[in-house]
Amino acid sequence: MTNGERPNWVEARGNCTLEGTFEQIMASIRYDVKCFDKMHERKPRDRTIGFENGCLHKATVWSRKAGPTPVDDTVSVHIAGQCIRVCRNREHLFTVDREWNEQTLTCDLKISGEVYSLWQISQKAIGDLLFG
């Protein structure tokens, strides 16, 4: 058999690491922030959105609403122990766990035991920050 005829489960399982999962989640969030910025580049808006990498395994998405008293809002994503925690303004929102799925040969991302896709995790993490 060639690699085209069978899935490369070894590579897929090898990438089902805490660091690899964190990077995939952050890539999805960065993509969504970029799409939001592109959607609003020619329209006036009441907020500025930014993204910054913190230490090795922490990143923050921030929103600043314009006005006489600017309002800051942040979502941080970081590795905590063997999971990934998502917080908004220092308040815990949810935790992402990962689990190798031998049936589908994928790394399942779970929140409270339910499987979520990367875009669903991104929406759950920053949806209110972007559109709230």
Dihedral sign, Cα of residue 55, residue 58, residue 63, residue 64: negative
How many C-beta neighbours within 10 Å does residue 18 have? 17
Question: What DSSP state is assigned to residue 6?
Answer: S
- Biggest alpha carbon–alpha carbon distance for the chain: 66
Helix H or strand E encompassing 38: helix 18-39
Share of the chain above pLDDT 70, in %: 89
Q: Give tens-digit pLDDT for 68-93.
A: 776 688 999 999 999 999 999 989 99
pLDDT given for residue 96 in this prediction:
98
Which pLDDT does position 41 carry in this prediction? 76
Q: What is the rounded average pLDDT of the residues 105-125?
A: 97
How many residues comprise the chain?
Answer: 132
Residue-wise pLDDT tens digits, 47-74: 677 777 766 688 888 887 777 776 688 9
Q: What are the sequence ranges of the domains in the chain?
A: 3-131
